[in-house]
Amino acid sequence: MNLRSAAVITALAGTLAGSNALATEARIQSMGGGVKLWTIEDESNVFDFPSLLSRWGNRVYIDNLQPGALDGEQFPNGRFGFHYNLSDETVIAFIGVNSNSESRPASNGFNIAGNMVNGFSTLGVSFQASQALESAGGTTNPMDFSGDAIGNTDFRYGVMFATQLGASTRFGISLNYAADNGDVESPADAERDQGATLIDLALGLGVDLTGSELELSAGVELGFFDDARDEPDAGTGLPGDQLEHFTGSHFGMRLNARWTFDFFDQTKIVAYGQFAYATQSVELSNALAPVPSGDWNGLSFMAGADLRIEPFQDVIVSPGVGFLIAQQTLEGTNTVDRDADLFLALPFYGVGVDLKLADWIDMRFGAQQFVTALRQSTTAGGVTQTGSASDVQTTFSWGLGLNLPVAESTVAIDLSINPQFFVNGPHVLTGNATGPFAMNAAVRYNW
Per-residue pLDDT band for 289 (boundaries 50, 70, 90) equals: low
Cβ contact 221:116 at 8 Å: yes
pTM for the full predicted model: 0.86
- Please state which of the ranges 276-280, 384-388, 420-424 shows the lowest mean pLDDT: 420-424
Q: Work out the mean pLDDT of the chain and round it to a whole number.
A: 83
pLDDT at 15 over 70: no
pLDDT at 32 over 60: yes
DSSP three-state, residue 393: strand
Q: What is the pLDDT of residues 349-383, one digit of tens each?
A: 999 999 999 989 999 999 999 999 988 888 877 78
pLDDT at 303 over 70: yes
Which of residues 240 and 403 earns the better pLDDT score?
Answer: 403
Share of the chain above pLDDT 90, in %: 44
Please report the pLDDT score of residue 99 as a whole number: 87
Q: What single DSSP character describes residue 141?
A: -
pLDDT at 3 over 60: no
**Highest mean pLDDT of the ranges 9-18, 63-72, 327-336:** 327-336
- Please state which of the ranges 114-118, 147-151, 237-241 shows the lowest mean pLDDT: 237-241
End-to-end CA distance of the chain: 48
Q: Which amino acid is present at 443?
A: V
**What's the mean pLDDT in 19-41?**
78
pLDDT at 438 over 70: no
pLDDT at 40 over 70: yes
**What's the mean pLDDT in 238-262?**
83
Please report the pLDDT score of residue 166 as a whole number: 86
CA-CA distance, 13 to 9, in Å (whole number)? 6
Per-residue pLDDT band for 34 (boundaries 50, 70, 90) equals: confident
**Highest mean pLDDT of the ranges 92-106, 209-223, 400-414:** 209-223
- Please state which of the ranges 17-21, 303-307, 392-396 shows the lowest mean pLDDT: 17-21
Please report the pLDDT score of residue 292 as a whole number: 66
Q: How far is CA 413 from CA 24, 94, 402, 445, in A?
A: 9, 21, 5, 9
* Number of C-beta neighbours around residue 285 at 10 A: 14
Share of the chain above pLDDT 70, in %: 80
Please report the pLDDT score of residue 4 as a whole number: 43
CA-CA distance, 146 to 127, in Å (whole number)? 10
**What's the mean pLDDT in 169-179?**
96
pLDDT at 332 over 80: yes
Per-residue pLDDT band for 218 (boundaries 50, 70, 90) equals: very high
Kindly compute the dihedral angle of the four CA atoms of residues 187, 190, 194, 195, in this order, to the nearest 10 degrees.
Answer: 120
DSSP 239-278: EEEEEEEEEEEEEEEEEEEEEEEEEETTEEEEEEEEEEEE
Please report the pLDDT score of residue 21 as a whole number: 39
pLDDT at 231 over 50: yes
Please report the pLDDT score of residue 76 as a whole number: 81
CA-CA distance, 44 to 26, in Å (whole number)? 9
Q: What is the pLDDT of residues 86-107, one digit of tens each?
A: 999 999 999 999 988 777 766 7
Please report the pLDDT score of residue 349 as a whole number: 93
**What's the mean pLDDT in 334-357?**
89
pLDDT at 429 over 90: no
Q: What is the pLDDT of residues 188-210, one digit of tens each?
A: 566 778 889 999 999 999 999 99
Please report the pLDDT score of residue 189 as a whole number: 60
**What's the mean pLDDT in 334-338?**
81
CA-CA distance, 267 to 374, in Å (whole number)? 35
Please report the pLDDT score of residue 22 as a whole number: 44
pLDDT at 443 over 90: yes
Per-residue pLDDT band for 11 (boundaries 50, 70, 90) equals: very low
Cβ contact 375:142 at 8 Å: no
